[in-house]
Amino acid sequence: MQFDNNNKGIFLSLDWMTIGLYLILIVWGWFSVCGACYDYGNPDLLSFNLNSGRQFVWILTSIVLASALLLIEKRFYYKASTPIYIMMMLILVITIFIAPDTKGSRSWIPIGPIKLQPAEFAKFAVALAIGKFMERYGFNMSNMREFLKLTIMIILPMLLIIAQKETGTALVYLALFLVLYREGMTGSILFAAMAFVVFFIVGIKFGGESMANMPVSVGEFWVLLLAFLCITFLVWRYGHDKKAAANIIVYGGTANLLAFLFSAYVIPFNICIVMLFVNIAAIIYIAVLYAYAHSYNYLLIILFASLATATYYGQDYVFHNVLRKHQRGRIEVLLGMDKDVTGKGYNVHQAKIAIGSGGFAGKGFLNGTQTKLKYVPEQDTDFIFCTVGEEEGFLGSAGVLLVYLVFILRLLILAERQPDTWGRVYGYSVVSIFLFHLTINVGMVLGIAPVIGIPLPFFSYGGSSLWGFTILLFVFLRMDAERNLKQM
Amino acid sequence: MKNYELERRQYVIGGLAVAVVIGYILRLAALQLLPNDYEQIAETNALYNRIIYPSRGSIYDRKGRLLVYNQPAYDVMVTMREVSDLDTTDLCHTLHISRQKFEERMAMIKDTKKNPGYSSYSQQLFMPQISAADFQVFQEKMFRFNGFSIRERTTRQYSYPYAAHVLGDVGEVSQNDINTDSYYRAGDYIGKLGVEQSYEKWLRGQKGVEVLLRDSRGKIQGKYHDGADDVKPQPGNDITLTLDIELQALGERLMQGKRGSIVAIEPRTGEVLCMVSAPSYNPQDLLGKQRGARIMQMINNPSRPMYNRAVSGTYPPGSTFKTSQALTFMQEGIIDPNNTFYPCNGGFHYKNQKLGCHAHPSPLSLKPAIATSCNGYFCWGLVNMFGNRSKYSSVQDAMTRWKDYMVSMGFGYKLGIDLPGEARGMIPNADYYDKHLGRWNALTVKSISIGQGEVTLTPLQIANLGATIANRGYYITPHVVKSIEGGAIADSLKRKHHTMVNSNYYNEVVSGMRMAVTSGTCKSAQNPWYEVCGKTGTAQNRGHDHSVFMGFAPRNNPQIAVAVYVENGGYGATFGVPIGALIMEQYIRGELSPASKAQAAAISNRNVN
């Protein structure tokens, strides 16, 4: 080991900007936790009876942990990444069986006076493992077998965490597909995933609404129209056949337009029947193209087109039979379909009141009333951003978002400057995980993302998540510090 | 091994992060910077204004004796969330309630329709105003009744069982009270009846408020801004009544077993010295848990003990009214006090009309007419006035003139006393008779001259007539509040009202009233100490005549004017004169002579049904 020789150089080449941002975020986060759990009549914020006091200890231990991690060399992780991954998966499996039931979740393992959540530590293990997998000589993303193996490495911990009834934490692993995208996964997968989310939302939200003067479901109309446009785009972009794309848009578009005009001005009828036939015709047309060109892409386009067209007809089943009742409720609240502010919509409604009442400059430190008085549930964990919004107003909450943006963009730069694929993949994993947490957590508090219980890194109270994010970040910072050393 | 095609994808990911943050900042701006009512919603969410009730002003009598004061009362409260392992039997036994009542009460508290402010985390009223004795027992056992606690409040206490009608009482506000005055909230207390009602704004003080923070479960977490926004309560102002509680006590004792009223006024000031309405009740009886039941009982009682006859009862004044007629006729020049004689041979006879009178010498002049209470004299006077076409163009014209005199003496309209529920009584006018009788003349309406017929007065107006005569021509608006701590009574209560009659004519009437005491109908009011002037009345009432007396003393520099009205009491001399004489004696001499004491006891024991 070159442990001692390198330490001075490592210290100099550490990215102090990121460390500075990290410190800003954890200190800011601690003040927010103070605001959220401040107890009237117990002004001692460092008291162990309060989450603020406990979080203070978590922060101190995190800093110790971070310093220790900076001493461990990059090549240690390289060697250990596979054992770490396997060990983490085993711990996740064991957790399912030994964790006691905590509010319906079986993910917390009590160790002495504290409780740890292994799912929070698994992220860094998965990031290390996929990096090492892609580092292998001759790895090629477009090789279907390799891609499937990678997918399994990501899906496995997800399934184990879902088995612990922590669906929210499991969804974070989806962020790693952003890393795969950077490493060469076709963008069409992200495109298709996004398209299906849009179809699903449009279908659910507007499925029951009827268009003016026409016996046509608004949701069905838009899903079929979007599917038609997507098919055209994919044929143009990935089929590389501009003439075929033109044929689809001209003939199909004309048919749809005629149907629309006929329905609007002559006899109203359900034009979705025509649109459905147009999409099916387009699929048959692409099948014919495949017969001539034998392009693998055409098969994928056919698969997408069929699923997209079928989405609307299948989603009712998914929505009512696959999703659980509380998950369905969250989606209904998010889409504004359920306006019951005392029931399922209570959290989001109260969060909006808390943030909205903060105004421009906020009510001041420890002066927030909504968050402190428990109107907002989970105020010091998942809904911590409400406290920032209420006590620090627009200035503070926009400030947190901007610091986060700088932090993420800085990590992106660090990831790009890694000398090897492994380092870059790990770096992008860190970026993607932070971005996913920020997007979902803040989005949920602002009422524009579904209520998925995941923490806001460095802000939400919780030792496991703070340690988990600290490990994730500082392993990367050590790797980055070694970027100028000779390759291992 | 750089792949520049793929390297460009960093901008997609970076762009995604920028887009998310910009989108969220826009959303934050929409929530926090655009005008909205989130702030107000947040305040109503979290701020709880706890009302601090001020102590209500005390009430004293004219000699500074404390009549009404505050005493702590104990309400039993319950916090549902904290109720556990309750020994219901023990609790019911301690509070003297049935198990069924307990269940009913608990169900009612939890019913958010009937109790919209319900929260299982906050204190709810379980049972109001338990007795001090029950409180002692309950307090000892309270540690066993998890979730139950005591809230201290104050209630009214009364030093004397008298003057209920003047004092009034305090009860929970009605929806109507809340609608008319935004000061009140449901559950507040407000003065009902008497001075508690008419001086409510002085007595109540100003509520204070404590701004507290309340969490989402209704539990109080602490003071908002460390109490910077709190308002201290302002205690209510004490008031001193014009009543003399000893005089009031004597009056109430004398009226025992009778229905009617006594009103005594200090003529010089208009201060009401006593105001009795019988039957009455002990104000203390309306306190505590039994209040509702007692009030219902009294409302259903046919003799209406809650009705303040002194200001709300309207009665025919009978012969006491003749004094006002004498004054009017003299001022209008219809009669000359010494040279006008009217015949009365067992009554008034004219054409085929007859109005009976008792035996006395005839013909007679004004003073003996007052002293003997001659009906004929006053009927002739009215007939001559209403028939005088050289002075009045028509009987209507004369009637209007007559009515103006009556109104100037305080009849027909409210006097404006500082008590609720005052009635105006009835002085008919020409329009009234035109409408009801069609063709009419002095003969048709002559009975108004002797205080019968359509004329009605309140006992207060009769007493005020006495005060006006004592003052020789003016009265001060009668009132029951002498002074207010830190304030002053309304100017309208100090105003001097002159009648339309010159004071020299009043002296004639005073002489007549003095003659009534020395040698007329009021002989039993005669005493060796001071000169009493009086006038009896026997108001006809279908066989059960009312006994009336109006008088004042001493003749010169009068200290007290009094009116006594005993329903169905018979001749004025039977009850009216002795009661009036006793009231005057008590007030002027400060005590009753032994003979008077015996007489008072005898009157107390006489019931009139």
Query: A394, B29: Cβ pair inside 8 Å?
Result: yes
- pLDDT band for position A103 (cuts 50, 70, 90): confident
The number of helices, as runs of H, and strands, as runs of E, in chain B is 23, 20
Is the domain of A298 the same as that of A375? no
A and B: number of Cβ contacts within 8 A = 130
Is the domain of A241 the same as that of A367? no
Q: ∠ CA A78-A79-A82 to the nearest 5 degrees?
A: 90
B295 touches chain A (CB under 8 A): no
For residue A466, pLDDT over 80 is answered with yes
What's at B331, amino acid-wise?
Q
Residues with Cβ within 8 Å of residue A180, at least 6 apart in sequence:
A141, A147, A150
* Position A338 in a domain: no
Interface of A with B in 145-174 (CB under 8 A): none
Integer Cα distance of A144 and A150 in angstroms: 10
* Position A488 in a domain: no
What chain B holds in terms of domains, given with CATH numbers, is 74-152 (3.30.1390), 245-294+309-604 (3.40.710.10)
| Residue range A279-290, pLDDT digits in tens | 899 989 888 888
Is the domain of A442 the same as that of A472? yes
Under DSSP, is residue B521 helix (H, G, I), strand (E, B) or coil?
coil
B201-227 burial, b if ≥16 CB within 10 A, otherwise e? ebbbbebbebbbbbbbebbbbbbbeee
Q: What is the pLDDT at residue A318?
A: 74
Under DSSP, is residue B602 helix (H, G, I), strand (E, B) or coil?
helix
Neighbours of B524 (CB within 10 A): 15
Query: B21, A369: Cβ pair inside 8 Å?
Result: no
Query: A401, B25: Cβ pair inside 8 Å?
Result: yes
* Position A335 in a domain: no
Determine contact, residues B187/B181, Cβ cutoff 8 Å. Answer: no
* Position A28 in a domain: yes
Its sign, for the CA torsion A391, A396, A397, A400, is negative
For residue A340, pLDDT over 60 is answered with no
- pLDDT band for position A334 (cuts 50, 70, 90): low
* Position A331 in a domain: no
| Residue range A411-440, pLDDT digits in tens | 999 999 999 889 999 999 999 999 999 999
Q: What is the pLDDT at residue A488?
A: 47
The average pLDDT across A99-124 equals: 84
Determine contact, residues A13/A74, Cβ cutoff 8 Å. Answer: no
What's at A466, amino acid-wise?
L
Q: Containing H/E element for B99?
A: helix B99-110
- pLDDT band for position A394 (cuts 50, 70, 90): very high
Phi–psi pair at A397, nearest 5 degrees: -70, -40
Is the domain of A385 the same as that of A442? yes
The average pLDDT across A315-325 equals: 73
Is the domain of A175 the same as that of A201? no
CA A223 to chain centre: 24
Integer Cα distance of A293 and A273 in angstroms: 30
DSSP at B364: B
Identify the residue whose tokens are 């179809």. A199
Q: What is the pLDDT at residue B209?
A: 82
Bridge partners, B355 (sequence order): B348
Interface of B with A in 40-69 (CB under 8 A): 41-43, 45-47
Is the domain of A81 the same as that of A173? yes
A5 or A48, which is more confident: A48
- pLDDT band for position A157 (cuts 50, 70, 90): very high
The number of helices, as runs of H, and strands, as runs of E, in chain A is 19, 2
For residue A333, pLDDT over 70 is answered with no
Neighbours of B379 (CB within 10 A): 27
Query: A416, B7: Cβ pair inside 8 Å?
Result: yes
User: Which of chain A's residues have a Cβ under 8 Å away from the Cβ of B13?
Assistant: 178, 181-182, 412, 428, 431-432, 435
Q: Chain A: give the shortest CA distance to residue B211, in Å.
A: 13
Q: What is the pLDDT at residue A336?
A: 58
The CB-side HSE value for A238 (13 A sphere, CA atoms) comes to 22
* Position A64 in a domain: yes
Q: Mutual orientation of helices B88-95 and B132-141 as an angle, nearest 10°?
A: 160
Q: What is the pLDDT at residue A52?
A: 84
Structure tokens at A351: 């969060």
Is the domain of A372 the same as that of A453? yes
What are the helix (H) ranges across A238-295?
242-247, 253-265, 272-293
| Residue range B179-197, pLDDT digits in tens | 888 888 777 889 988 999 9
DSSP at A250: I
Structure tokens at B24: 């969220």
Identify the domain containing residue A54 by its residue range: 3-141+151-179+343-481
Q: Which of A290, A322, A354 is the last residue of a domain?
A: A322
Q: What is the pLDDT at residue A29?
A: 93
Q: Containing H/E element for B560?
A: strand B560-566
Ramachandran sector of residue A26 (left: φ over 0; alpha: ψ -120 to 50; beta: rest): alpha
User: Which of chain A's residues have a Cβ under 8 Å away from the Cβ of B223?
Assistant: 40
Determine contact, residues B271/B242, Cβ cutoff 8 Å. Answer: yes
Q: Chain A: give the shortest CA distance to residue B21, in Å.
A: 6
What are the helix (H) ranges across B181-233?
194-198, 200-204
Q: What is the pLDDT at residue A339?
A: 54
User: Which of chain A's residues have a Cβ under 8 Å away from the Cβ of B27?
Assistant: 446, 448
User: Which of chain B's residues have a Cβ under 8 Å away from the Cβ of A428?
Assistant: 13
For residue A2, pLDDT over 60 is answered with no
Task: Give me the percent of chain A exceeding a pLDDT of 70.
Answer: 92
Query: A397, B28: Cβ pair inside 8 Å?
Result: yes
Integer Cα distance of A71 and A68 in angstroms: 5
Is the domain of A126 the same as that of A224? no
What are the helix (H) ranges across B423-458?
430-437, 442-445
Integer Cα distance of A38 and B215 in angstroms: 12
For residue A458, pLDDT over 70 is answered with yes
**What is the residue-wise DSSP string for A63-131?**
HHHHHHHTTS-HHHHHHHHHHHHHHHHHHHHHHHHHS--BTTB---EEETTEEE-HHHHHHHHHHHHHH
Residues with Cβ within 8 Å of residue B443, at least 6 apart in sequence:
B350, B351, B353, B383
CA distances (Å), A193 to each of A177, A199, A308, A442, in order? Answer: 11, 10, 11, 22
Q: Chain A: give the shortest CA distance to residue B230, in Å.
A: 17
Of B1, B10, B213, the CB nearest to A373: B213
Query: B221, A40: Cβ pair inside 8 Å?
Result: yes
A40-61 burial, b if ≥16 CB within 10 A, otherwise e? beeeebeeeebbbbbbbebbee
Is the domain of A312 the same as that of A428? no
Is the domain of A49 the same as that of A107? yes
Closest CA to B418 of B295, B308, B292: B308
| Residue range A343-367, pLDDT digits in tens | 556 777 788 888 888 888 888 777 7
Q: What is the pLDDT at residue B85?
A: 81
Phi–psi pair at A289, nearest 5 degrees: -60, -40
Determine contact, residues B549/B536, Cβ cutoff 8 Å. Answer: yes
pTM: 0.61
Interface of B with A in 17-36 (CB under 8 A): 17-18, 20-21, 23-25, 27-29, 31-33, 36
Query: B221, A394: Cβ pair inside 8 Å?
Result: no
* Position A330 in a domain: no
* Position A382 in a domain: yes
- pLDDT band for position A87 (cuts 50, 70, 90): very high
Closest CA to A111 of A93, A134, A95: A95
Q: What is the pLDDT at residue B422?
A: 95
Residues with Cβ within 8 Å of residue A136, at least 6 apart in sequence:
none
Q: Mutual orientation of helices A74-98 and A144-163 as an angle, nearest 10°?
A: 40
Q: What is the pLDDT at residue A3?
A: 46
Neighbours of B31 (CB within 10 A): 24
Ramachandran sector of residue B223 (left: φ over 0; alpha: ψ -120 to 50; beta: rest): beta
Determine contact, residues A402/B21, Cβ cutoff 8 Å. Answer: yes
Query: B17, A412: Cβ pair inside 8 Å?
Result: yes
Stretches where chain B sits below pLDDT 50 are: 1
Indicate the number of domains in chain A. 2
Query: B24, A393: Cβ pair inside 8 Å?
Result: no
DSSP at A183: T
User: Which of chain B's residues have a Cβ under 8 Å away from the Cβ of A397?
Assistant: 28, 32
Is the domain of A294 the same as that of A155? no
Determine contact, residues B327/B509, Cβ cutoff 8 Å. Answer: yes
Integer Cα distance of B358 and B372 in angstroms: 9
Is the domain of A245 the same as that of A159? no
Integer Cα distance of B521 and B551 in angstroms: 12
Integer Cα distance of A336 and B488 in angstroms: 62
Under DSSP, is residue B222 helix (H, G, I), strand (E, B) or coil?
strand
Integer Cα distance of A4 and A11 in angstroms: 12
